[in-house]
């Protein structure tokens, strides 16, 4: 499965002190589960896929690099976002997306 290994390592590092984290290959990438809930993935396009509260999607889509996640060319359900490298380049931005994912999963 092709995914950005450096991105997966950034996610791993960000989640290293969290409990209940596991890794699963899915969605053509590497996904990180938190307490059995899919939280975040390093997808096959080299982007971060984030699971978030559906009622926050409109606000989160205004952030740099964020767009509606697609699977096989079709939009995914509400609460799935994809964030490209422009939206995760700084540690602050990356950390904010990880927190969104953790807030949803917990």
Q: Is the pLDDT of residue 59 over 80?
A: yes
| Element holding 104 (H helix, E strand) | helix 91-105
How far from chain centre, in Å, is Cα 70?
13
Q: pLDDT per residue over 1-56, tens digit each? A: 588 899 999 999 999 999 999 999 987 789 999 999 999 999 888 899 999 999 99
pLDDT value at residue 77: 84
pLDDT value at residue 2: 80
pTM: 0.92
């Amino acid at each position: 499965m092709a995914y950005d290994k450096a991105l997966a390592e950034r996610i791993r590092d960000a989640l290293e002190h969290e409990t209940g984290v596991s890794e699963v290959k899915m969605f053509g990438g590497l996904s990180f589960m938190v307490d059995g809930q899919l939280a975040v993935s390093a997808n096959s396009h080299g982007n971060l896929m984030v699971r978030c509260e559906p009622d926050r999607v409109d606000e989160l889509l205004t952030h740099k690099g964020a767009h509606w996640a697609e699977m096989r060319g079709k939009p995914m359900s509400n609460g799935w976002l994809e964030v490209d490298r422009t939206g995760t380049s700084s540690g602050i931005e990356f950390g904010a997306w990880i927190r969104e994912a953790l807030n949803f999963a917990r």
